[in-house]
A and B are shown apart, each in its own frame.
Chain A
Amino acid sequence: MGVGITVEHVNAFYGKTQALFDINLVFQANHATALIGPSGCGKSTFIRCLNRMHETIPDARVEGTVRIGDLSVYNGTSATQLRRRVGMVFQKANPFPTMSIYDNVASGLKLNGFRNRKQLDEVVVRSLNSAALWDEVKDHLHKKSGASLSGGQQQRLCIARALAVQPEVLLMDEPCSALDPISTGKIEDLIFQLKEQYTIVIVTHNMQQAARVAEFTGFFLLGKMIEFDKTEKVFRKPSDKRTEDYVTGRFG
């Protein structure tokens, strides 16, 4: 089951440059929340603060409090522990190129020391099913490399890989930006189903996509969160002028 996320007074930096300014926000469990905004507005930086990927960049740091369920992200939890409960799907599909499809999906469990062959098999089948990829790859799970799949399939493989470690939250950083409309449609359908079990945060450039998949939407501009509300409200009746300008296409 998904868990809620609470973000309080988060500031993020790259060296001396501040990229996020005092972000406060609550993500509802088992809902999808979209983060929109023009390029460079900090939405990707923000999503990477939720699973401590931000700090893997040299000189980058985060201030503030993030709680995911009962877990305090920046206090008393190791980054590896946290990331097993918070899955991430990246902008560009990044399957492990030298691993088979099976090993890609099983990698999160295997490389964390999980060895039970039978249970691994079950997890792989279940994850590939959840990612709507099973029918397309079931005949060559062990023979083909993850990199031999098409772009859309690779992205769904990455989703399956993230689901295999049974996270509570799924972070998606522009998961469809490199995909054609059909693959995009498949992944959006998937997000709809995954909401039942996971809390989803999706960063997107595509406002129609935000409107289609997310119940809540946050609008970022220049490192600040300008508006956060029900998706319908953000798009139909934004309370901030800057949000209105952006969603109506007057800038960005």
Chain B
Amino acid sequence: MTSIAVLTVVLVLLPLGAIFAYLIYKGAGSINWAFLTQTPKPVGEPGGGMANAIVGSMVILGIASLMGVPLGIGAGIYLSEFGRNRYGDIVRFVSDVLNGVPSIVIGIVAYGLVVLRQGHFSALAGGVALAIMMVPTIARTTEQMLLLVPQAIREAAYGLGIPRWRTTLSITLRTATSGVITGVMLAFARVAGETAPLLFTAFGNQYWNWKSDQPTAALSLQIFTYAISPFDEWHRQAWAGALVLIILIVGAVAAVRFAVRHGTLAGA
């Protein structure tokens, strides 16, 4: 039994390890100061980097999290605390369907919602697309985590005369915090590498852009553009970009975990 368990763990970790090793092998050589601080150079000129795409990805993911996380957690709270009925079932069904919608379709939705209205591609549109993708994952994991909080904990709060909304936010949600954060990080990591929904929302940009209503570069888009190009130099940069993207995701998840662990009490 133990050997089977160990074997499955190895099988699960093997692809991850292989991807990471291959990315380092292919990409690490191209990561240098210029790569992290400069914008892309025109074809044929050596050097240049993805600084604008790194920042762009952070901006787009920031916008997506700002919209998607509260909405997802809010929906999860509704499903667990108030949605044990037919309306809740409808929301659950819609959320599960949304989870299965291809990401490029969600890109089209954001295109219709934001790009057409604004008249141009933007970080905001990319953020909206990714936020829509985050909501169902966050909502369903939040719901599950809140359902794990024993009813006795809620009763203790009611018994103290704490109103229901206060109990939900300060007792139930707080008790489930670490699980809810796991859901948020899952959703975040999933959309961080998305390319398709950004193709016609954020669109990409070869230059610096600091405005959320202008076309914005993103690492995944830059990797895509460079990877399908015929130039060796761009291929190398695409590998480097992929490595940076993974490091950013792992770094963000680790930072949040660290912060949560240090806010937790002994024995909790």
Residues of chain A having any CB pair with chain B under 8 Å: 51, 53, 56, 58, 79-85, 87-88, 90, 92, 94-100, 107-108, 111-112, 143-145, 147-148, 158, 161-162, 165
**Binary interface encoding of chain B residues 146-168 relative to chain A, with 1 for a CB under 8 A from any of its CBs, else 0:** 00001011011111111100110
Give every chain A residue within 8 A of B84 (Cβ-Cβ): 58
**Binary interface encoding of chain B residues 117-159 relative to chain A, with 1 for a CB under 8 A from any of its CBs, else 0:** 0000000000000000000000000000000001011011111
Could you jot down 26 A-B contacts, CB within 8 Å?
A51-B159, A53-B155, A79-B158, A80-B161, A80-B163, A81-B161, A83-B158, A83-B159, A83-B161, A87-B159, A88-B159, A94-B150, A94-B152, A96-B175, A97-B175, A98-B174, A98-B265, A107-B157, A108-B161, A111-B160, A111-B170, A112-B166, A145-B268, A148-B266, A148-B267, A165-B161
4 extra interface residue pairs, beta carbon distance < 8 Å, beyond A82-B161, A111-B167 = A96-B156, A108-B161, A112-B162, A148-B268
Q: A108-B162, A111-B170, A161-B160 are in contact. Are A98 and B177 (CB under 8 A)?
A: yes
Q: Verify A107–B162 contact, CB threshold 8 A.
A: yes
Interface size class of B (residues with CB under 8 A): 20 to 34
B189 lies within 8 A of chain A by Cβ: no
Closest to B85 in A: A58
A141 and B153 CA atoms in complex are apart in Å by 20
Closest to A107 in B: B160
A88 and B161 CA atoms in complex are apart in Å by 10
Q: For the complex formed, measure the closest distance between the CB of B149 and the CB atoms of chain A, giving whole angstroms.
A: 9
Closest to A56 in B: B158
Give every chain B residue within 8 A of A112 (Cβ-Cβ): 160-162, 166
Closest to A101 in B: B265
Closest to A82 in B: B161
Give every chain A residue within 8 A of B170 (Cβ-Cβ): 111
Point out which of A53, A99, A108, A111 has the most chain B C-beta atoms below 10 A from its C-beta.
Answer: A111
Q: Verify A97–B160 contact, CB threshold 8 A.
A: no
Give every chain A residue within 8 A of B267 (Cβ-Cβ): 144-145, 147-148
B171 lies within 8 A of chain A by Cβ: yes
Q: Verify A165–B158 contact, CB threshold 8 A.
A: no
Q: A111-B166, A144-B267 are in contact. Are A162 and B152 (CB under 8 A)?
A: no
A90 and B166 CA atoms in complex are apart in Å by 20
Point out which of B84, B159, B166, B268 has the most chain A C-beta atoms below 10 A from its C-beta.
Answer: B159
Give every chain A residue within 8 A of B266 (Cβ-Cβ): 143-145, 148
**Binary interface encoding of chain B residues 59-74 relative to chain A, with 1 for a CB under 8 A from any of its CBs, else 0:** 0000000000000000
Interface of chain B: mostly helix, strand, loop or mixed? helix
Instruction: From B157, B162, B167, B175, give the contact of A98 (CB < 8 A).
Output: B175
B3 lies within 8 A of chain A by Cβ: no
Q: A96-B153, A97-B153 are in contact. Are A90 and B159 (CB under 8 A)?
A: yes
Give every chain B residue within 8 A of A148 (Cβ-Cβ): 265-268
Q: Verify B153–A108 contact, CB threshold 8 A.
A: no
Q: Verify A96–B155 contact, CB threshold 8 A.
A: no
The 10 closest A-B pairs by CB, nearest first: A148-B267, A84-B161, A108-B160, A83-B161, A145-B268, A88-B159, A145-B265, A94-B152, A145-B267, A94-B156
Closest to B266 in A: A144
A9 and B159 CA atoms in complex are apart in Å by 24
Q: For the complex formed, measure the closest distance between the CB of A166 and the CB atoms of chain B, giving whole angstroms.
A: 11
Give every chain A residue within 8 A of B264 (Cβ-Cβ): 98
Q: For the complex formed, measure the closest distance between the CB of A189 and the CB atoms of chain B, giving whole angstroms.
A: 23
A114 and B62 CA atoms in complex are apart in Å by 35
Q: For the complex formed, measure the closest distance between the CB of A54 and the CB atoms of chain B, giving whole angstroms.
A: 11
Instruction: From B158, B162, B167, B265, give the contact of A53 (CB < 8 A).
Output: B158
Closest to B178 in A: A98
A20 and B192 CA atoms in complex are apart in Å by 57
A96 and B152 CA atoms in complex are apart in Å by 10
A81 and B158 CA atoms in complex are apart in Å by 11
Q: Verify A84–B268 contact, CB threshold 8 A.
A: no
Give every chain B residue within 8 A of A145 (Cβ-Cβ): 265-268
Give every chain A residue within 8 A of B157 (Cβ-Cβ): 96, 107, 111
Q: For the complex formed, measure the closest distance between the CB of B83 and the CB atoms of chain A, giving whole angstroms.
A: 13
Point out which of B160, B175, B268 has the most chain A C-beta atoms below 10 A from its C-beta.
Answer: B160
Q: Verify B175–A53 contact, CB threshold 8 A.
A: no
Q: Verify B152–A92 contact, CB threshold 8 A.
A: yes
Point out which of A51, A83, A148, A158 has the most chain B C-beta atoms below 10 A from its C-beta.
Answer: A83
Q: For the complex formed, measure the closest distance between the CB of B163 and the CB atoms of chain A, giving whole angstroms.
A: 5
Q: For the complex formed, measure the closest distance between the CB of A85 and the CB atoms of chain B, giving whole angstroms.
A: 8
Q: Verify B161–A90 contact, CB threshold 8 A.
A: no
Q: For the complex formed, measure the closest distance between the CB of A107 and the CB atoms of chain B, giving whole angstroms.
A: 7
Q: For the complex formed, measure the closest distance between the CB of B161 and the CB atoms of chain A, giving whole angstroms.
A: 3
Give every chain B residue within 8 A of A108 (Cβ-Cβ): 160-162
A162 and B163 CA atoms in complex are apart in Å by 15
